[in-house]
């Protein structure tokens, strides 16, 4: 099935171009100013802005249930009095509906792929498959003192997920290897997961140096920063997706850059929890692949890449006291092509013939989208999730003009609210 | 005309209440759980959240023309190569249409009142009157070295604005006294405007300590901070609305608190221009009336109080490295009741019988508005401008379900774009 998107202002790797995007099956086959013939379906972009879809490179989807659940609390009571007890009540059914609500939020807000780290992964994956969105799924591994991986359910589940789901949905689903973090694991398990990631050729998703406390406690424990410790365990032989990286040192950054690692920057979460501000400019300058994430809804509170993108831009300028820091075009790359790289998806993240058709059209009708002098600036500095008119993944339209094409979102919200009433209110 | 808003979750001064809001003419006459009879029109809130309308306490409306016009530039070239030359091309017609586009953005995003500082004030006021929004209008005064106020067109215009428009629209329009800043004026003019503000019983709107450079240069010039200098000139005998306050000292804060001054916090602008982060927590603790503003669109790039509110909350927590800083309910007050105070409008800013009916209904249908555990948290941490379903000012509905009831917004956008094409592209 060939589709032509016409009347769009396209953000390309080179710049901006008004014209058409041709899609053949799952792939882009034309990007240009002309309106070529031979397409079965024509989608009128109505003068909107076409951008490569956003990648939410660090999420915990089921935590949408805890959106606004535990607010304005210090870290320890937040975790031990509210979040952990709430997580203890999770069931596959809660996760099933919550995942669909979270995916609906993402799809309607221009996110075409996400990297998740949690449990009840089957439910999350089934929701992703049903919706058509792309997902890298990691089973969070927190072994604590247990060094025997044969005794770890999370390890076993990871292996099962690889066997059952890796490559599912024509490659839309990828399974990542995972360590929750250094401080929730031990050296033996870290080494075992590092070997497993290498064997599977998988991305290794791990929380790194989110808080100053955990960073320093790791040094106290091992005489090494979390990054250096994970490197010692062999993790960096694989593509690492390091979430947060708020307190990474220059040496940590050098390790990441030398090993082609990615850093998922989660500006809203880091600020909301008082963790600090990640050294994004330093990491980019060193060649680290910096991408963007929302983290979980209990510390955001949304799953909205437009907000993360805008906020990352403002924080970079404000933190450096430099209005020239992280120009909008460079910021935009964090939200799509860098996220795609972090997921090991070299075939997407840009609007270019030969790439996967993961495309978002941002409407320009609303007052706040006038005037537009540059499409990239408008996307980063003015556009919002609600401006998204169309979200396409692998050439399939998942969302268009307020309608979800693949998910019964009303039902998901209804079912989730029923269970939330019973479980959490 | 009596209107009843039913089926809403109302954020009241005391807490949250599910029920109805009764409006009689311009005033709220009922807030409660019952559904009283005797109203001519019933508005179904459809389970949305009702909040007192937002006040944008610091704006430069015509700068909507420069939204995205000059990006990622250092301050001096930004001003001298782009912004000032662009401002030189402004005409009453450009301002007429741009003001309507900016007001449309505000109305559709839950803003019921704004405090503007600019010129071509007649055009801005006429747009506000036509739209039904409330506005405090200040004619920016930048006398530089001219000490004779009779030679200042801006002074004369201010007097004309007071005579012609103060109290217009049944009190919707108020004229503020104004000094652009200390660094664009001189002592004689500051003293003269301070006397004028006192004589008129007006708010005095002024930029204060936005950048470290201007703050320190003032000390170099006068041996006093901008706040102390303005106090010496007699400004603080009137209610001052001090915009930015990024670099105010503890002594400045004490002066503001002792004199009932307001500080308009502009988080997006301050970050985007690399100015710094205002000491909001300190100011609040000292009793300064802190409110929120968008500043001009060239340094934001929107006029969106939901974004300013959310960022103010996150920045307060991140800057203090404390997740308990500026709890959501307290942050919400910055956006409405504190802004109303800053405008000298004691009769609005809260949903309470006897107050003006300046009410916004935020829809809760979208995925990102599920689940809601607290209405105030949802408004600050999850809701976005596009969730606004209804905006009411003085009991009149200005915007409802995507329709503007008082402005021809399509025309305004069309006319503005035509002029922008001719003037700025």
- pLDDT for position A75: 86
- pLDDT for position B48: 98
Q: Tell me which residue in A68, A314, A370 faces B372 most closely, judged by beta carbons.
A: A68
d(CA B167, CA B162): 9
Q: Are A300 and A273 in contact (CB under 8 A)?
A: no
Same domain, B37 and B148: no
The answer on pLDDT for B168 being more than 90 is yes
Pairing of β A403-404 and β A396-400: antiparallel
Residue of chain B with shortest Cα separation from A69: B373
Give me the mean pLDDT over the B174-196 stretch.
98
Please report, for residues A142, A187, A190, A208, A273, the alpha-carbon distance to residue A184 in angstroms, rounded to integers and kept in the order given: 5, 10, 10, 11, 19
Same domain, B276 and B155: yes
d(CA B145, CA B163): 27
Same domain, B29 and B173: no
**DSSP characters over A265-294:** E-HHHHHHTT-----HHHHHHHT-EEEE--
For testing the chain B interface, which of A82, A265, A308, A323 should be mutated: the one with the most B CBs within 10 Å? A323
Listed residue (B280, B281, B266, B191) closest to B236, CA to CA: B191
Q: Chain A residues with CB inside 8 Å of B246's CB?
A: none
d(CA A254, CA A242): 14
Q: Tell me which residue in A311, A381, A384 faces B311 most closely, judged by beta carbons.
A: A311
Q: Which residue has the tokens 């010039």?
A: B221
Same domain, B234 and B304: yes
The answer on pLDDT for A203 being more than 90 is yes
Cis ω before B371 (30° cut-off from 0): yes
ipTM, 2 dp: 0.96
Residue B390 belongs to domain spanning: 2-52+349-404
Q: Taking chain A, what is the end-to-end CA distance rounded to the nearest angstrom?
A: 47
Same domain, B267 and B365: no
Q: Is residue B240 part of a domain?
A: yes
Q: Is residue B424 part of a domain?
A: no
Q: State both tokens at B251.
A: 């002594």
Same domain, A39 and A86: no
- Structural domains of chain A, count: 2
Same domain, B357 and B310: no
Give me the mean pLDDT over the B219-238 stretch.
98
Q: State both tokens at A407.
A: 């998910």
The answer on pLDDT for B419 being more than 90 is yes
Q: Is residue B377 part of a domain?
A: yes
Q: Is residue B425 part of a domain?
A: no
d(CA A360, CA A358): 7
Same domain, A318 and A381: no
Distance between A421 CA and the closest CA of chain B, angstroms: 9
Q: Is residue A269 part of a domain?
A: yes
The answer on pLDDT for B75 being more than 90 is no
**Does the distance separating the beta carbons of B273 and A314 come in below 8 Å?**
no
Q: Is residue A302 part of a domain?
A: yes
Q: How confident is the model at residue A97 (pLDDT cuts 50, 70, 90)?
A: very high
Q: Are A136 and A174 in contact (CB under 8 A)?
A: yes
Q: State both tokens at B148.
A: 């004779």
Coil, strand or helix at B412: helix
- pLDDT for position B37: 97
% residues pLDDT > 90 (chain A): 99
Q: Is residue A79 part of a domain?
A: yes
**Does the distance separating the beta carbons of B382 and A386 come in below 8 Å?**
no
Listed residue (A137, A71, A134, A63) closest to A420, CA to CA: A63
Same domain, B34 and B71: no
CATH of the domain at A33: 2.30.40.10
In this structure, which long-range contacts are made by residues B140-145, counting pairs with CB atoms below 8 Å and at least 24 apart in sequence?
B140/B178, B140/B180, B141/B178, B141/B179, B141/B180, B141/B185, B141/B189, B141/B193, B142/B180, B142/B181, B142/B184, B142/B185, B143/B184, B143/B185, B143/B186, B143/B189, B144/B184, B144/B185, B144/B186, B145/B186
Q: Which residue has the tokens 């805008």?
A: A310
Same domain, A210 and A309: yes
Pairing of β B396-400 and β B388-393: antiparallel
For A390, other C-beta atoms within 10 Å of its C-beta total: 23
Q: State both tokens at B378.
A: 């949802």
Coil, strand or helix at B67: coil
Distance between A425 CA and the closest CA of chain B, angstroms: 7
Average pLDDT, chain A: 97
**Does the distance separating the beta carbons of B381 and A384 come in below 8 Å?**
no
Same domain, B167 and B118: yes
Please report, for residues A381, B276, B295, B323, the alpha-carbon distance to residue B273 in angstroms, rounded to integers and kept in the order given: 13, 8, 11, 25
Coil, strand or helix at B295: strand
Q: Chain A residues with CB inside 8 Å of B311's CB?
A: 311, 314
Q: Chain A residues with CB inside 8 Å of B381's CB?
A: 67-68, 71, 300-302
Same domain, A99 and A37: no
- pLDDT for position A166: 98
In this structure, which long-range contacts are made by residues A144-148, counting pairs with CB atoms below 8 Å and at least 24 apart in sequence?
A144/A184, A144/A185, A144/A186, A145/A186, A146/A186, A146/A189, A147/A186, A147/A188, A147/A189, A148/A188
Q: What is the pLDDT of residues B308-357, one digit of tens each?
A: 999 999 999 999 999 999 999 999 999 999 999 999 999 999 999 999 99
Q: State both tokens at A419.
A: 């269970």
Q: Is residue B423 part of a domain?
A: no
């Amino acid at each position: 099935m060939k589709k032509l998107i016409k009347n769009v202002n396209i953000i390309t790797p080179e710049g901006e171009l008004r014209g058409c995007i041709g899609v053949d099956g799952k792939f882009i086959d034309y990007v240009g100013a002309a309106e070529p013939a031979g397409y079965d379906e024509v989608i009128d972009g109505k003068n909107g802005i076409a951008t490569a879809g956003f990648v939410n490179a660090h999420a915990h989807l089921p935590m949408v249930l805890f959106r606004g659940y535990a607010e304005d609390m210090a870290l320890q009571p937040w975790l031990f009095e509210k979040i952990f007890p709430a997580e203890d009540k999770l069931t596959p059914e809660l996760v099933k509906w919550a995942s669909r609500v979270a995916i609906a939020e993402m799809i309607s807000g221009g996110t075409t792929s996400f990297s998740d780290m949690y449990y009840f992964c089957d439910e999350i994956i089934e929701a992703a498959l049903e919706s058509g969105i792309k997902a890298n799924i990691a089973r969070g591994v927190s072994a604590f003192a247990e060094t025997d991986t044969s005794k770890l359910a999370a390890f076993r589940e990871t292996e099962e997920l690889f066997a059952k789901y890796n490559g599912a949905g024509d490659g839309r689903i990828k399974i990542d290897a995972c360590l929750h973090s250094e401080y929730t694991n031990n050296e033996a398990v870290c080494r075992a997961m590092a070997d497993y990631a290498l064997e599977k050729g998988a991305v290794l998703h791990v929380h790194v140096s989110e808080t100053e406390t955990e960073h320093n406690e790791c040094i106290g424990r091992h005489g090494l920063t979390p990054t250096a410790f994970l490197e010692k365990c062999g993790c960096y032989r694989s593509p690492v997706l390091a979430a947060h990286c708020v307190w990474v040192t220059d040496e940590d950054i050098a390790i990441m850059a030398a090993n082609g690692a990615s850093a998922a920057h989660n500006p809203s979460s880091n600020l909301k929890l008082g963790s600090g501000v990640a050294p994004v400019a330093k990491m980019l300058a060193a060649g680290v692949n910096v991408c963007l994430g929302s983290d979980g809804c209990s510390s955001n509170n949304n799953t909205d890449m437009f907000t993360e993108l805008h906020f990352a831009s403002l924080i970079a300028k404000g933190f450096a006291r430099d209005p020239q820091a992280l120009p909008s075009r460079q910021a935009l790359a964090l939200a799509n092509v860098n996220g795609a790289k972090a997921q090991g998806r070299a075939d997407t993240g840009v609007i270019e013939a030969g790439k996967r058709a993961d495309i978002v059209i941002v409407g320009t009708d609303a007052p706040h989208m006038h005037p537009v002098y540059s499409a990239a600036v408008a996307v980063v500095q003015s556009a919002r999730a609600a401006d998204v008119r169309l979200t396409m993944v692998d050439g399939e339209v998942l969302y268009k003009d307020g309608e979800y094409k693949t998910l019964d979102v009303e039902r998901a919200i209804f079912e989730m609210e029923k269970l939330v009433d019973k479980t959490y209110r």
